[in-house]
Amino acid sequence: QVDFRVHAQQHYFEYQPGRLTGLNRDQKTITLAPIKNSAGETVVAERHLSYDTLVLAVGSTTNDFGTKGAAEFCQFLDSQEQARRFHRNLLNRYLQEEFADSSERNLRVAIIGAGATGVELAAELRYASQQLEYYGLHHIGPDNISISLIEAGERILPALKERLSSAACRELKKLNIEVLTSKPVTEITGQSLHFADGSELEAEIKVWAAGIKAPTFLSELDGLETNRINQLKVDATLRTTRDDSIYAFGDCAECWLEGNERPVPPRAQAAHQQASTLYKTLIAKLEGKAAHPFVYKDHGSLVSLSDYTAVGSLMGNLSKGSMMVEGKLARLFYVSLYRMHQYALHGFFKTGLIWLNDRLMKAIHSRMKLH
């Protein structure tokens, strides 16, 4: 998590808190919603900011595709608050089962969507279930917690290479995680999931991790062109199709590059590369030079399976084509990637300090947060 106010002070930009709610392209202004305190009182009234060039990078949220009952009965992991709620809910369920009178203890977790988020979450939950006995929970353990990973497509990790998907599937099965593929969910109720083939799966905890969509307000943003999942359509220079002064990148933008069968994927590495290109374009624009076209380089993908292992494929500099990595090496790359993100944000020295701090905290705190 980045404290933008501090980051801005240290990196020569100005940070304005506020939620974008409107745009006036003629007047070149944006509208920010009022800022309220926890009692609902207005601290700062709605305000307008003017711009010469506007860059939109508002990300995405989970897409439940309007599935009946999903919004009501599933948990989502888009924000820190949602993640905290999921954590609290899970701990309460563990406690409930631990002290239940019944001798039949069983907690069923269903994760809908076997992309990287779903796969990683399934492995993390299995790891957590194996740690419980070290923290005084003796009646509930891995044998009482069933985890099912559900995917509408034919295989898990559909956006990644098939080899990777099979390797991850093999590891998940070793962890006693049930993997259900070709199982589109049609409805969710308080107790169960209903599938298109008429079958049903009971689960107390249901997490929706399938697909993304850009925020709805983008489709009503003063006539900017959007696709069916509200992403702003941009050209190869990341400029929106209907306004030369407005750019968009990251998850909230749909960017097609020549010769590609799919748009640039909604991933951190794509957003990062687009930011670097846009930075050059904005400088070029000020100097009256031509925009830099965006070129996407897929450096590969890594999927962590908690402390057990990781699987991934690396592309580009280290290998010609793609190179499959698994186990300790893949985990090392995974951890390095995280540090690379920190390096991009904070620089070498601070990332070193953060790493040192993390090592110290690891020695003091448990790996699992049980409160």
Contact 237, 291 (CB under 8 A): yes
Residue 73 or 249 with smaller CB distance to ligand FAD: 249
Q: How far is CA 177 from CA 157, 206, 249, 316, 358, in A?
A: 15, 15, 36, 33, 30
Determine the size of the site formed for ligand FAD (CB under 6 A).
18
First CA to last CA across the chain, in angstroms? 20
Pairing of strands 192-195, 47-50: unpaired
Q: Which of 215, 278, 285, 312 binds ligand FAD (CB under 6 A)?
A: 215
Position 254 contacts ligand FAD (CB under 6 A): no
Q: Taking the complex as a whole, how short is the minimal distance between the CB of residue 266 and ligand FAD, in angstroms?
A: 5
By CB under 6 A, which span of 36-44, 150-158, 267-275, 339-347 interacts with ligand FAD? 267-275
Longest dimension (CA), the chain: 74
**b/e for 67-88, b at 16 or more Cβ within 10 A?**
bebbeebbbbbeeeeeeeebee
By CB under 6 A, which span of 104-112, 261-269, 276-284, 309-317 interacts with ligand FAD? 261-269
Tally of CB atoms within 10 A around 162: 11
Question: d(Cα 193, Cα 210) in Å, to the nearest integer?
Answer: 14
For 275, counting Cβ atoms within 10 Å of its Cβ (0-12 exposed, 13-18 middle, 19+ buried), the class is: middle
Position 268 contacts ligand FAD (CB under 6 A): yes
* Interacting residues with ligand FAD between 54 and 83 (CB under 6 A): 57-59, 77-78
Q: Taking the complex as a whole, how short is the minimal distance between the CB of residue 198 and ligand FAD, in angstroms?
A: 31
Residue 29 or 117 with smaller CB distance to ligand FAD: 117
Contact 51, 243 (CB under 8 A): no
By CB under 6 A, which span of 168-176, 228-236, 246-254, 350-358 interacts with ligand FAD? 246-254
Position 85 contacts ligand FAD (CB under 6 A): no
Q: Which of 106, 117, 181, 322 binds ligand FAD (CB under 6 A)?
A: 117
Q: Taking the complex as a whole, how short is the minimal distance between the CB of residue 68 and ligand FAD, in angstroms?
A: 23
Which residues lie near ligand FAD (CB under 6 A)? 19-20, 57-59, 77-78, 116-117, 215, 250-252, 266-269, 271
